[in-house]
Amino acid sequence: MVGTMQDKVVVITGAARGIGKGIADCFVAEGARVIVTDLSQDLIDAIDSDHISGMVGDAANQDEMKVLIGQVNAEYGRLDVLVNNAGIGGPTADFNEMATDSAVLHLSDASWDEQLVANPRTAFSSSSAAIPHLQSGGSIINIASIAALGPTTSLPAYGAAKAAVVHLTTTLAMELAPRAIRVNCICPGLLWTRAWEILTTQMKNKQPELANMSNREVFEMVVNDITPLGGEQTPEDIGNLAVFYASDKARMITGQVVAVDGGISVK
């Protein structure tokens, strides 16, 4: 059977694991030729799929991404879809953004800047490198977060960084509409990936009453507390919408932002 993405060439950044890998599997299932990028050869070598090609590149570095996209174009002869998935799900420079009293008062300049490089710059630099090569009828899909959709007192830098990804989505949608290239955004809710392993460790450090719970149990508690549909989201939930956005079925959809979050963002 011919898939909806048959022979399309799809580049997904930061996709050796986690949500990006799930998106890659969904495009492969629809017949696409999928190239994922990540930060190291070790991560690329660990990808458990014979149908996915991997390349090393920093999505926040325009020069590296120009070389990488140029190689994709030389090898595959076209580029149809860019998924800007690379990002950091929480603070890594220090743990202060998760302070229980006031995250803003404890957040360092370095942590703030780190989020702006890790999240919107990845989407900007990779898009800038890919746009000259994208086919008419192609698309860009940005992965933001429900943190972009309202105030995020516990993660102010991450929320602001992802809000910038949403804004970039509408700007690029208008810029690329004359070339019939569509740009859309997905805001994932709660997914059990490395980001939440880090976040739940931080929660346990800050909240002694959680100390005896496993990280996974803390995550399930958060999911059950705040998700109207009552369950975590999976990388495939995100990938299914990404495939739809990229398909001809969405040919009149551009500049849109959809949360895949079990209803969290409309509570």
Ligand X SMILES: NC(=O)c1ccc[n+]([C@@H]2O[C@H](COP(=O)([O-])OP(=O)(O)OC[C@H]3O[C@@H](n4cnc5c(N)ncnc54)[C@H](O)[C@@H]3O)[C@@H](O)[C@H]2O)c1
Query: Looking at 29-119, which runs of residues are DSSP E strands?
Result: 33-38, 52-56, 79-84
Segment contacting ligand X by CB under 6 A, of 11-19, 69-77, 173-181, 207-215:
11-19
How far is 219 from 188, CA to CA, in rounded Å?
Answer: 15
Closest to 13 (Cα-Cα) out of 62, 67, 57 = 57
Residue of 11, 14, 129, 254 that binds ligand X (CB under 6 A): 14
Contacts of 184 (CB under 8 A, 6+ apart): 139, 140, 141, 142, 169, 173, 245, 250, 253, 254, 255, 256, 257, 258
Interaction between residue 206 and ligand X (CB under 6 A): no
Smallest distance from ligand X to CB 180, Å: 26
Interaction between residue 27 and ligand X (CB under 6 A): no
Is the Cβ of residue 87 or residue 138 nearer to ligand X in the bound state?
A: 87
* Length of the chain as a residue count: 267
- Within 10 angstroms of residue 233's Cβ, the number of other Cβ atoms is 23
The site string for ligand X over 34-53 (x = CB under 6 A, - otherwise) reads: ---xxx---x----------
How far is 40 from 48, CA to CA, in rounded Å?
Answer: 15
Smallest distance from ligand X to CB 88, Å: 6
Smallest distance from ligand X to CB 140, Å: 14
How far is 85 from 13, CA to CA, in rounded Å?
Answer: 5
Segment contacting ligand X by CB under 6 A, of 3-11, 45-53, 166-174, 194-202:
194-202
Across the strands, what pairs with 185?
142, 257
Q: Show the DSSP H helices in 131-231 as ranges.
A: 156-176, 194-206, 215-226
Segment contacting ligand X by CB under 6 A, of 27-35, 86-94, 105-113, 169-177:
86-94
Is the Cβ of residue 196 or residue 245 nearer to ligand X in the bound state?
A: 196
- Within 10 angstroms of residue 250's Cβ, the number of other Cβ atoms is 16
Contacts to ligand X from residues 112-131, by CB under 6 A: 118, 122
Answer whether 129's CB lies under 8 Å from 115's CB.
no
Is the Cβ of residue 254 or residue 265 nearer to ligand X in the bound state?
A: 265
Is the Cβ of residue 135 or residue 240 nearer to ligand X in the bound state?
A: 240
Residue of 32, 60, 69, 157 that binds ligand X (CB under 6 A): 60
Residue of 79, 173, 190, 260 that binds ligand X (CB under 6 A): 190
Residue of 18, 120, 138, 262 that binds ligand X (CB under 6 A): 18
Answer whether 187's CB lies under 8 Å from 146's CB.
yes
Residues forming the site for ligand X (CB under 6 A): 13-14, 16-20, 37-39, 43, 58-60, 85-89, 118, 122, 143, 145, 188, 190-191, 193-196
